[in-house]
Structure 1
Amino acid sequence: MIPSTTRLLLSSARKLCGAVKMRSLHTRNTEEAAVYVHWPYCEKRCTYCNFNKYIQRSDNEDAIRACLLKEASTLIQLSQVRSISSVYFGGGTPNLASPHTIGAILEVISQNALLQQDAEVTLEVNPASIQNSKLHLFREVGVNRVSVGVQSFDDSELLFLGRTHTACDALHTVEEACRLFPGSTSVDIMFGLPGQSMESWQSTLKTLLAICDDHVSLYQLTIERGTALFKQLQRGQFSPPDEELTAHMYNFARRTLCDASFHHYEVSNFARNGALSRHNLSYWLGKQYIGIGPGAHGRFVARATGGTQREARIQTLEPDPWMREVIQHGHGTRKVVEQNDLEILSEMLVFGLRTDTGITHEAWQQLSPSISLKHFFDASHELKMLQKLELVLLDESGLRCSWKGLAVLDSLLVPLLSQLQYAWNQMEKEGSPKDTT
């Protein structure tokens, strides 16, 4: 899940890059990719949700399964990757799909590329009554990690969010997941809810730590235009969350989780005992990934057609048009854009700085041999000030956010992206950079 502010910054970065003519990408490893599979259906739409979700008809799982299988085969063959490092079933509510559908998708992925022996296979799960749980069946078809969308352990908060489960359902689901997937169960929890007090947040964290496994994702509620919550806010039915209190909740949660031996390895993610999300690290480290299903995004080199540059791909949003396109063309790709080096550097900044390790000098220079990170900062008073304030750290290992910098990352990205655009324009005026690889 990418926070909305980060998505907006990425969109702005792409617009900045669009008018600049670039040299070709220094191709990195194109032999391996992660796979994201989007299941677009939910039982209902939550009040805060602006994702690509729909209410499923009762008669179309066979049809969408056939199309997911066909598109997976087509796109993996197009990429000509030899191995798949991870598969992530997101949504929507992918645990509404039958285990047969999940298993069939994993089988067709394995038929078209090597699904690595230790590949991470994650299924997003919404809590359900214990009678409706199919977790053991998903494990039997190849799922080895689950991400449980708890969001809250407070029934009044769950009602406000429009969730279909209760706090009791959440507790039962997490307990069962931890039993079936020990060391590989992640829990999503939300903070910054209207009316949420520091006391209730502390209680939520206490409950979480009593039952969670080795991975936790914290997400701040964002009220998006077009959602039910946005309309309620416009009508004055509740007051927006206090920004200072929300920041305090985030920092308190960080300290609490770290005190419980969790490693804060990404802005929103915490892991202990080495249980980092390998699939999400593929995004943050700029690796290839293939997006399958309605509205899915991908980043890979289409080697089957002679491609040498990485392409940003977006699949058709709505399930029915997407299925028609898959039946006709083998895939439902609606938009393909070749990414130039400036776009990839922008994504490296946006995603790499989300992690505690940040961006190494080697990774940066692979795409930007003429603009070192040190030169990049020395040329900007504003960026030097970020260093002076100890919001970002630049040393022999590379560039990364400090502890306090991670808490205000989105505000830091604005000057960083602007300086990147300026530095690249200056470099273009002086002549195309020489390829040093």
Structure 2
Amino acid sequence: MVQSVYFHIPFCEQICYYCDFNKFFLKNQPVDEYLDDMAKEMENTVKRFSYSRMKTAFVGGGTPSVLNEKQFDRFFGAIHSNFKFEPGYEFTFEANPGSLDYDKLKALKEYGVNRLSIGVQAFQDELLKRIGRNHQENDIYENIELARQAGFNNISIDLMSGLPGQTLRMFKESLEKAKKLPIDHVSSYSLQIEPKTIFYNQMNAGTLHLPPEEEETAMFEELIKQMRDNGFIHYEISNFAKPGKESKHNLTYWDNNEYYGIGAGAHSYIDGVRRENAGPLKKYMLLVKKEGFPYFRENRLTLEQKMEEEMFMGLRKRTGVSKDIFYHKFGRTIDDVYGRAIDQLLKKGLITIDNESVCLTEQGVFLGNEAFEAFLIDG
């Protein structure tokens, strides 16, 4: 049964140089019409795929905080018309520093949002400019303080490592400043160069200068150490939380559970089928108007694919993959399906296994891709 929903707002006032998410410059876009089509997709989705109540919701982008007051009303009104939430639900809203004032934050609280995910990325103004961000360090402190004043007691920030021009000293400085903030969760991701990004074009032109691999590894080591020393639980490869503040929505993905995806370019997983919505704005909107659903691609997973994904996603969690849950989902034991891969990874020191679960070791966290690939059944 679906208990989580993701909403995609693809509009941005500025495009970050590393971003490969589905996004469009805000200026001259049909935002109101897009929100109406999202509302129609919501309505059609819950009619076609039943649910009881949502445990989590997540509004991402793009930059959702670029919506104005009337657009907030339109958007959240559609959400609450179509979705009911369980007591104790988690409702996350993404925002960039500098994009939220007190009135907008209070409005978010009134709409039921109770968790903020703020895209900090770095604390050095020069570095922020170099990666295409339009905020500065002071905006970080101001927005987090305003969020606390508005009543938010669950705030996450995103950081990035391996950025062009970023040194280990700079990343340590960002971690030191992050630790002093009244925040509850940190996600930190290493830069990945993706096609159709400005950084990808710079890399092909030979003008992108990245830190050496050993310095990037040192950044990850420093991240783990400083987060743990400051009372954050390392609960997923790239995520750290104060006790009880783990991202419930993202755990939906890592637990390989089903979810709705609403909006241009959004993905969903329902009844064993992964669906991808059309990304181009006009195509998304046309499909919703003509067909009711914006699906661009649908893939019904085989049993083998479901088991592979259970391992890929579950091993990202430090608690690993539960043997009982694996057997309950698939009617086969992990040892029966993956005995050979498990033996190989045990010998390499990349996983541990006991009566309850299969987990990455400390070494395995740094070599996660090697461990994940071993669970390809045809690999």
State the partner residue of 2:67.
97
Deviations 1:309-364 (CA, angstroms, capped at 9, x unpaired): x2111111111111111112222122222222111111111111100111111222
Do 1:187 and 1:212's aligned partners in 2 also have CA atoms closer than 8 Å?
no
Amino acid at match of 1:174: I
- Determine the C-alpha separation between the residues in 1 that align with 2:195 and 2:29: 32
Secondary structure at 2:378 match in 1: helix
**Does residue 316 of structure 2 align to residue 354 of structure 1?**
yes
Q: Which has the larger radius of gyration?
A: 1
- Determine the C-alpha separation between the residues in 1 that align with 2:315 and 2:239: 13
- What number of residue pairs does the alignment pair up? 379
| Structure 1 residue 85 displacement after superposition | 1.2
Do 2:13 and 2:27's aligned partners in 1 also have CA atoms closer than 8 Å?
no
Instruction: Quickly say closer, same or farther: Cα 1:236–1:414, change in 2 above 3 A.
Output: same
| Structure 1 residue 83 displacement after superposition | 1.2
1:114-125 correspondence runs (5 A): 114-125=84-95
State the partner residue of 1:396.
355
Amino acid at match of 2:360: C
Deviations 1:11-55 (CA, angstroms, capped at 9, x unpaired): xxxxxxxxxxxxxxxxxxx2x420100001111211111111111
1:405-416 correspondence runs (5 A): 405-416=364-375
For structure 2, the 5+ residue unaligned runs are: none
Instruction: Quickly say closer, same or farther: Cα 1:363–1:37, change in 2 above 3 A.
Output: same
| Structure 1 residue 233 displacement after superposition | 2.3
Greater relative CO (CA pairs within 8 A, separation 6+): 1
Instruction: Quickly say closer, same or farther: Cα 1:217–1:170, change in 2 above 3 A.
Output: same
Deviations 1:135-182 (CA, angstroms, capped at 9, x unpaired): 222222221111000101101110110001111112212222233344
Instruction: Quickly say closer, same or farther: Cα 1:154–1:133, change in 2 above 3 A.
Output: farther
Instruction: Quickly say closer, same or farther: Cα 1:133–1:149, change in 2 above 3 A.
Output: farther
**Does residue 168 of structure 2 align to residue 206 of structure 1?**
no
TM-score using structure 1 length: 0.82
Secondary structure at 1:211 match in 2: coil
Do 2:115 and 2:154's aligned partners in 1 also have CA atoms closer than 8 Å?
yes
- Determine the C-alpha separation between the residues in 2 that align with 1:102 and 1:331: 23
- Determine the C-alpha separation between the residues in 2 that align with 1:131 and 1:180: 10
Deviations 1:346-392 (CA, angstroms, capped at 9, x unpaired): 1111111100111111222234434x222345434xx4232133311
- Determine the C-alpha separation between the residues in 1 that align with 2:309 and 2:44: 26
| Structure 1 residue 250 displacement after superposition | 0.5
- Determine the C-alpha separation between the residues in 1 that align with 2:20 and 2:38: 23
State the partner residue of 2:302.
340
| Residues 102-111 or 184-193, more deviating | 102-111
- Determine the C-alpha separation between the residues in 2 that align with 1:364 and 1:131: 45
- Determine the C-alpha separation between the residues in 1 that align with 2:346 and 2:121: 35
Do 2:22 and 2:265's aligned partners in 1 also have CA atoms closer than 8 Å?
yes
State the partner residue of 2:340.
379
Secondary structure at 2:269 match in 1: strand
The percent identity for this pair of structures is 29
State the partner residue of 2:189.
219
1:232-247 correspondence runs (5 A): 232-247=202-217
Deviations 1:223-257 (CA, angstroms, capped at 9, x unpaired): 22322112222323242321111011101111110
- Determine the C-alpha separation between the residues in 2 that align with 1:47 and 1:362: 43
| Residues 114-123 or 202-211, more deviating | 114-123
Amino acid at match of 2:185: H
